[in-house]
Amino acid sequence: MDRLYAEHRAMLTAYAIRLLHGDRGKAEDIVQETLLRAWQNSSRLTTSGMSERSWLRRVAHNLIIDGFRAAQARPPEAPVARMTHPAVADVSDTVLTSVAVGNAMRQLAPEHRTVLSHLYYLEQSVAEAAQSLDIPPGTVKSRAFYGLRKLRGILELVPDGVA
C-alpha cells in the first residue's frame, strides 16, 4: 500500500482535481477512497489484467461519477442565506427577568419607583426626570441610588427561574 500511495497519489490527485473542476478537498477524498478500495481488493488489482495505474484511475473515475449521480438523485441543499423564515430567538429569560423586575418595582416606595421609571423606562436623563417630576436633580440622583439599592436587594431574594 505504501508503494501504491507513493507512486500514484500525485497522479490520482491531479486526475480527480481535473474531473472535479478544481475541488481539491473532494479530490483528496476520492484518492483516499480509491486507495482504500485498492487495499480491500488487492487480489483484483493484480489479476484484472490492467496496469495498477489504469485500475486506480478507473476506480477514481467511477467514484466521481457515482458522486455526481448521487448528487443528482437527491434534492439540492438549500443554502442558509435563502431561508424564508428567520430563526426565532429564545426570549424566555428576558420575559422572566422583566416579570421579576416588574414585581420588585411594585415593592418600592412610590417616589423611588417613579424616579426609576423615568430614568430607565422612559430613558430620561437626570435633568429631564427632575424637570418632569418637578424636583431637584440631586433628589432624582438620591432616589435613584436608594431605589436601585432596594431593587437589587429584592431581586437577590428571588430564586432563579421564579418571578
What is the per-residue pLDDT across 103-161, written as a single tens digit (0 to 9) for each? 888 999 999 999 999 998 889 999 999 999 999 999 999 999 999 999 888 888 766 54
For the question of whether the overall pTM of this predicted structure is more than 0.85, the answer is no
With a CB cutoff of 8 Å and minimum separation 6, the contacts of 139 are: 130
- The residue type of 75 is P
The band of 1, judged by pLDDT with boundaries at 50, 70 and 90, is confident
CA distances in angstroms from 88 to 37, 72, 85, 91, listed in the order given: 46, 32, 9, 9
Mean pLDDT value across residues 55-68: 90
CA-CA-CA-CA dihedral for 95, 99, 101, 107, to nearest 10 = 180
Residue 64 has pLDDT above 60, yes or no: yes
Q: How far is it, in rounded angstroms, from Cα 38 to Cα 17? A: 19
CA angle 143, 149, 150 (to 5 degrees): 90
| pLDDT tens-place string over residues 42-60 | 777 666 667 888 889 999 9
- Per the prediction, the chain carries an average pLDDT of 84
Locate the DSSP E strands across the chain.
none
Longest dimension (CA), the chain: 101
The topology under which CATH files domain 2-77 is Rna Polymerase Sigma Factor; Chain: A (1.10.1740)
Q: What is the pLDDT of residue 14?
A: 93
Residue 92 has pLDDT above 90, yes or no: no
Pick one of 1.10.357.10, 1.10.10.10, 1.20.140.10, 1.10.3720.10 as the CATH number of 92-157: 1.10.10.10
With pLDDT > 90 as the criterion, what percentage of the chain qualifies? Answer: 42
Query: Which has more pLDDT, 96 or 64?
Result: 64
Which residue ranges make up each domain of the chain?
2-77, 92-157
Counting beta carbons within 10 angstroms of the beta carbon of residue 146, is it exposed (0 to 12), middle (13 to 18) or buried (19 or more)? middle
Q: What is the pLDDT of residue 2?
A: 78
Crossing angle between the packed helical segments 92-106 and 137-157, to the nearest 10 degrees:
120
Q: What is the pLDDT of residue 163?
A: 47
CA distances in angstroms from 56 to 12, 30, 108, 134, 147, listed in the order given: 8, 11, 81, 89, 79
Q: What is the pLDDT of residue 90?
A: 73
